[in-house]
Amino acid sequence: MHNDISTIGARIAEERQRQSASQKETAALGHVSLRTQAAYEMGESMPNLAYMKQLAAAGFDVTYIITGERVASTIADDEAELLARYRGSSLELRKAALAVLGIAAQAPATGSTFNASSGNIKIGQVSHGPITGSQTINVGGGGRKKKGKTD
């Protein structure tokens, strides 16, 4: 097992091709310039851990790049896609996804709740999303009065 700089560079290029990514796309994923990406692949420069972490998050087999040994995946392609999209999501979206799957205790708070009660009658209204402008809340009893006849 050789881990010299040129061998690691060749494995980076191999993984990039396996991912169907261009040098430019891989450079963007790794937050490096196109010139730096080319230098890595040609064995002129050794990538740092931050670069490798970015590639790993994008699905590159970093273990293979470093050691030359592939690690067998134990998850299906659709599971890997779900995981990749989860990792690339905002914290709010991650919490919502976990809540939908029944993993989180509750969904992230995204709205306002108004609850009122009168005797044995309980009234509640939940509003999701931002509330803009002035709002009117009508509170009343009974029903609508009939127009027309009066006794």
For residue 99, what are the domain limits? 75-108
Q: Looking at the structure, tell me whether residues 49 and 25 fall in a common domain.
A: yes
- 48 — pLDDT class (breaks 50, 70, 90): very high
Q: Looking at the structure, tell me whether residues 62 and 95 fall in a common domain.
A: no
Q: What is the pLDDT of residue 91?
A: 86
Q: What is the pLDDT of residue 12?
A: 97
- Buried b / exposed e along 58-88 (16+ C-beta atoms within 10 A): bbbbbebbeeeeeeeeeeeeeeeeeeeeeee
Please, are residues 6 and 41 in contact by the beta-carbon 8 Å criterion? Answer: no
- What is the distance, to the nearest Å, from the Cα of residue 144 to the centroid of all Cα atoms in its chain? 49
On whether residue 102 sits in a domain, the answer given is: yes
What are the residues whose beta carbons fall under 8 Å from the beta carbon of 114, sequence distance 6 or more? 124, 125, 126, 127, 137
pLDDT digits 0-9 by tens, 51-100: 999 999 988 999 999 999 887 766 777 888 888 888 888 888 888 888 88
pLDDT digits 0-9 by tens, 8-43: 999 999 999 988 899 999 999 999 999 999 999 999
Q: What is the pLDDT of residue 67?
A: 92
Q: Looking at the structure, tell me whether residues 54 and 85 fall in a common domain.
A: no
Average pLDDT, stretch 105-126?
A: 48
Q: What is the pLDDT of residue 113?
A: 45
On whether residue 57 sits in a domain, the answer given is: yes
Q: What dihedral do alpha carbons 100, 106, 111, 117 form, nearest 10°?
A: 120
| CATH code of 35's domain | 1.10.260.40
Q: What's the predicted TM-score (pTM) here?
A: 0.49
On whether residue 128 sits in a domain, the answer given is: no
Residue 135 has pLDDT above 70, yes or no: no
- What backbone phi and psi angles, to 5 degrees, belong to 125? -140, 130
Q: What is the pLDDT of residue 101?
A: 85
On whether residue 130 sits in a domain, the answer given is: no
Q: Looking at the structure, tell me whether residues 63 and 16 fall in a common domain.
A: yes
Domain count, the chain: 2
Q: Looking at the structure, tell me whether residues 52 and 84 fall in a common domain.
A: no
